[in-house]
A and B are shown apart, each in its own frame.
Chain A
Amino acid sequence: MSKTRTREQGDGEVAALDQLAREDAGSRAQFLKMVGGAGAAGALAIFVAACGGDDEAETPSGGGSTDTGGGGGAASKGDIAILNYALTLEHLESAFYQQVLDSGQIKDPKVGDVAKSIGEDEMEHVQALTATVEQLGGKPAKAPKTAFEDVIAAGAQKILETAAAVENLGAAAYLGQAGNIKNKEILAAALSIHTNEGRHAAVLNQVVGKTIVPDGAFAKPATMEEVLKSVKPFIKA
């Protein structure tokens, strides 16, 4: 279907991950400099953007409860950079499921349903993070060019194992940033995505016959460097 998503503008500022993948040196400072847009404080409406029509119960805290007051802390450049880092990963995941579903490689309808619902979640994460970065006055990271062809050609098992690996990595990536996020509302948003990624990771582990909790009772975080190194094979330079 819509295979050609937002790949076109490969000009100007290259997507941050592309750049990093090329240079190999995962210096965090450099990464932050690249992805950090103009920092500006502002009201964050990630949940407004995101929480449309799920089967959650009614939102108990109502509409006008969060007026960004209460010591939430302004969104710093660092927060925007973290959001863009997360956005890049979500772009990658979202593109992967899209390509997997388009390929028709997954024949088991139950597994297909799981992949579809995960893909939907990732797409919502992309939308919410993009909107949030924009609202904060930053420039959202672009979708990287992906390199999943070999994985997809290898068939369902390889696809699911890769999906599991990427989801476990994604969950670890969010966990690794929690302590770095300054603004409380951004932290709340990141946490709400973090556990969603944890759900994906465990379910895919279960599907491929691995333990649902690879780190045991306490999930381990991953640094930006670790994450970028691991996703590098899936990004086209």
Chain B
Amino acid sequence: MLLLIVLLPLLAFGAILAGAKARQTAVIACGANLALGLLAAFTWKAGFWNLSLPVLSAPAIHLSLGLMDGMSVIMLLLSVIVAFAAVLTGQAPDGREKLYYGSSLLIAAGAIGAFVATDLFFFYAFHELALIPTFLMIGMLGRGENKAAAWKITIYLGFGSLVLLAGLVWLASATGTFDMVAMQESTAIDPAAQKGIAAFLIVGFGILVSLFPFHSWAAPAYASAPAPTAMLHAGVLKKFGLYGLLRLAVPLLPEGLHAWLVPLCVLLLGNILWVGFVTISQKRLDGMLGNSSVMHMGYIFLAIAALAAVPGGENAWAVPAAVLLMFAHGISIAMLFGLADKIERTTGTLDLDELGGLGKAAPSLAFLFGLVGMASIGLPGLANFAGEVMVFIASFKNYDPAAGMGPVQITCILAIWGVVISAIYMLRAYRKVFQGPFVKATEGASDLSLVDRVPAVLLAVVLLAVGLCPNLLLSLLR
């Protein structure tokens, strides 16, 4: 069944190439996938979802798909929800429909495949499916400095994947298997090897997640990408690296991660504070959103640092916190990019200084943007708040007052200031875009059409539902 979820977007891509109507095909495929994803959330423990086909005997590699635990289910849900919203959002330029919707389908298939693969080889391979569609979409249909951004993201991610590949191969060689389920039960890896593998994984996954200082590809790429690409990439695909760290590094390399705890804390503060200040200084909405998505990765790394701080120790808060925040961030950033696309389509610009007063012309756009902006800052009642609070609690979970504060606690105290930074840039952007008098660009602006509303409302409902009742997701993790 999972094979069907992975193949549906690919089949739809094939159908579009063969001449089917691009938008309809993509919407139908992603809609069906959304239904299947929801079904999976309820019945994921049943064996019929899993699949394993041998493709290579030495080393033993299987095309195996399965839902290992609630984390895979939540990432699958995130992927299908955002994919559905992404194909509904935006408008393909004339004559480019095939590319526009086909790319979204390929990226979605790659992300879904990576989250449900239970073999290291395909876990890695599926993620790369997005590489070429992203390159083409940003290069052909992007805005601004799109060509440079397309090269940057492609080479950066290509290089990061190679570093990651070396780490994964080393990991597979140390555990003696490519099977991610069997791997969890293998004997503990020698600490020296753990340290080496963890270094490769932190740098490799770190590049894919835009961990400071490997983040410089992300903001320009997202800023210039067409809406569906930015939504899928920033919302879903980027979570692959964090998912990989939680899935592989945390259980298998506890001592390896612990050895890199302090550098990891410094880097994640780089994400939250350094990139946070960079975000404040942005003059365009797309650049601001791109940087803010880089910044928020810092919090999820903080949860990973909390897990790394006590190798082998219990921290019941950290994994749920990280997963919840990944989900919340994925939904909110996708919604922000979707709405930003609408702002650009109706006003023709995303330059903050050229915008103003849009709230009067487009009240529902203003409302939804305000809602998701608040979510992104971390307003209680919306999903991101639950995740961020849990991250902060998790970092103090193993705090021993007698021993004083460790690196994670210090990092956490500094990281909380990131919420203030978020509030500054998000509220300022909201004021500049939506409030004040009309300006030239917003005079003839129109509000969200019905077609625009469907994806935005879908994402907003998810944000609210998870925010008000985080147990919807957290119960999957138990």
A and B: interacting chains: no
